[in-house]
Amino acid sequence: MKIGVDGGGTKTDLILIDDRGDIVARRVTTGCNPNSNGPENARITLEEALGTLAAHHPVSHTLLCMAGAPAFWRETAEALNAGGLFGEVSALDDSRPVLEIATGGRPGLVLHGGTGSFIAAQAPDGSLHYAGGTGWRFGDPGSGYDLGRRTISKALLELQGWQLSTSLSTLVRDHTGLVHSAAITRHFYKHPEPNRQISSLAPGLLRLAEEGDHAAHQVVAESVTALLQLAEMVTTKLFAGWHLDTLRAGVSGPILTHPAVRPILATRSSLNLRPLDELPIEGVRRLLIRLPSS
């Protein structure tokens, strides 16, 4: 048996597979990103969930595909190895499963947009590369946080009277239950989890954009276009001379696969971006299958 883990800030998805690659058991629990959930809570969440899956089965390998703090997860994998309960434990970052789904282990790239965003790529020489993913404090274009941040920024100028009022200020007022720009500013700055609070504006913004709201569509387009510009930098450096429309390329996550975003991607990118329907845990399963049985 082998265990695979897709660990993020919102949830942790675990599977137990047999030697044929079939899923024998699965568990979903709370998030375990050490940056947002805390290192100790992240470790406890992971170990408790692993213990549940391994309680009645001998495990040869465990693969951790985790968000946040790669060094922390490498150290965690080493500690779990020493315990001997979960077989040979290794740790990868959370970009690898979606890259596996998008490219099947061949040259190509994937753009991911969820609470955060990143680009992962496999170059023609087989080397792996990571772009963006610098975290919610520094932007992450095409992410839920970036959509929320841009919405609040524009809404505050509207509420201060410097721009005409649009659906954005209405969305932010309804979201916070507050009316004045100063009170809204204090709300976000003093909130104990500002990243989650800000990114939680994204679903409402995407709904407005899908309904044809101009202001919401403009915010979404600006954010996604910034991520596409980063993707263009990656492809220019790694795939010079390639016909980009033939390059394996995918998009994953609830932002980039949203109906309001797909037309933007289609009209503003030279890549043939395929929305990934599979969950990241499927990419973990495929990576697990590649591992030796003993």
What is the pLDDT, as a whole number, of residue 37? 77
Report yes or no on whether pTM surpasses 0.75: yes
Residue 103 CA to its chain's centroid (Å)? 17
Topology adopted by domain 105-276: Nucleotidyltransferase; domain 5 (3.30.420)
Mean pLDDT is lowest, of 9-13, 24-28, 73-77, 283-287, for: 9-13
pLDDT at 48 over 60: yes
Average pLDDT of the chain, as a whole number: 93
pLDDT at 294 over 80: no
Residue 133: which pLDDT band, with cuts at 50, 70 and 90? confident
12 phi, psi to nearest 5 deg: -125, 120
Percent of the chain residues past pLDDT 90, beyond the cut = 80
What is the pLDDT, as a whole number, of residue 77? 95
Nearest to 208 by CA among 252, 174, 253, 179: 174
Side-chain half-sphere of 113: how many Cα atoms within 13 Å? 34
Instruction: Give per-residue pLDDT as tens, 216-261.
Output: 999 999 999 999 999 999 999 999 999 988 899 999 999 999 999 9
DSSP, res 56: T
Instruction: Give per-residue pLDDT as tens, 88-114.
Output: 999 998 899 999 999 998 999 999 998
Residue 199 CB contacts under 8 Å (≥ 6 apart), including other chains: 115, 136, 143, 144, 145, 147, 148
CA dihedral of 270, 274, 275, 281, whole degrees rounded to 10: -120
Instruction: Give per-residue pLDDT as tens, 143-182.
Output: 999 999 999 999 999 999 999 999 999 999 999 999 999 9
HEC assignment per residue over 57-108? CCCCEEEEEECCCHHHHHHHHHHHHHHCCCCEEEEEECHHHHHHHHHCCCCE
What is the pLDDT, as a whole number, of residue 291? 80
Topology adopted by domain 2-93: Nucleotidyltransferase; domain 5 (3.30.420)
Strand order in the sheet with 88-93: 23-30, 11-17, 2-7, 61-66, 88-93
Domain segments of the chain as ranges: 2-93, 105-276
pLDDT at 192 over 80: yes
Q: CA–CA separation, 208 vs 154, rounded Å?
A: 15
Residue 293: which pLDDT band, with cuts at 50, 70 and 90? low
Asked whether this chain's domains 2-93 and 105-276 adopt the same fold, the reply is yes
Residue 68: which pLDDT band, with cuts at 50, 70 and 90? confident
Residue 232 CA to its chain's centroid (Å)? 19
pLDDT at 36 over 60: yes
Give the residue-averaged pLDDT of 3-7.
Answer: 95
